[in-house]
Amino acid sequence: MTAPLGRRAYLSLVLAATTAGYSLFGGDDVSADSPTSATEALLAGHLVAIARNLDGAVVRPDETATPVQDALDRVAEAGGGRVYLPPGRVSERGPIRPHPNTGLYGFGMNVSVVRRGLG
């Protein structure tokens, strides 16, 4: 579970979500328990991948060993974009290799942390 957010981290989160231009993720295949906004997804500890040709993809760190690379791959396939890291720690088991026209954004030093996963 992610620790509660401080005021600065929360304001950064809201700014990043609104700057990204997403208020709601859509589509008929979205389940009822899915996050409905980029802010909700980030607060839940998920990575958010945003690209022009991508419908706001959420990558759940507990479902993959390489969530950061998976999100970067998704925005690269869509022609480039941004991956937002949630506040807290994200474990990554493999190397992180950004593609051209992709960016990785967090909420500041020691707020969003990528940690090399063990085993």
Is residue 51 situated within a structural domain?
A: yes
In this prediction, residue 52 carries a pLDDT of 84
Q: Are 102 and 84 in contact (CB under 8 A)?
A: no
Residues 6+ apart with CB under 8 A from 78: 51, 52, 53, 54
Q: What is the DSSP string of 9-52?
A: HHHHHHHHHHHTT-S----TT--TTS-SSHHHHHHTT-EEEEET
Half-sphere exposure of 71 (CA within 13 A, CB side): 27
Is residue 91 situated within a structural domain?
A: yes
Is residue 108 situated within a structural domain?
A: yes
Is residue 55 situated within a structural domain?
A: yes
Q: Please give the residue range of the domain that contains residue 19.
A: 7-116
In this prediction, residue 26 carries a pLDDT of 45
Residues with pLDDT less than 50, the chain = 1, 21-32, 119
Number of domains composing the chain: 1
For the record, the structure tokens of 98 come out as 């950004």
Is residue 1 situated within a structural domain?
A: no
Is residue 2 situated within a structural domain?
A: no
Q: Give the C-alpha separation, 77 to 96, whole Å.
A: 16
pLDDT, tens digit (0-9, with 9 covering 90-100), for 103-118: 999 988 889 999 987 6
- Of 58, 96, 91, the closest CA to residue 74 belongs to 58
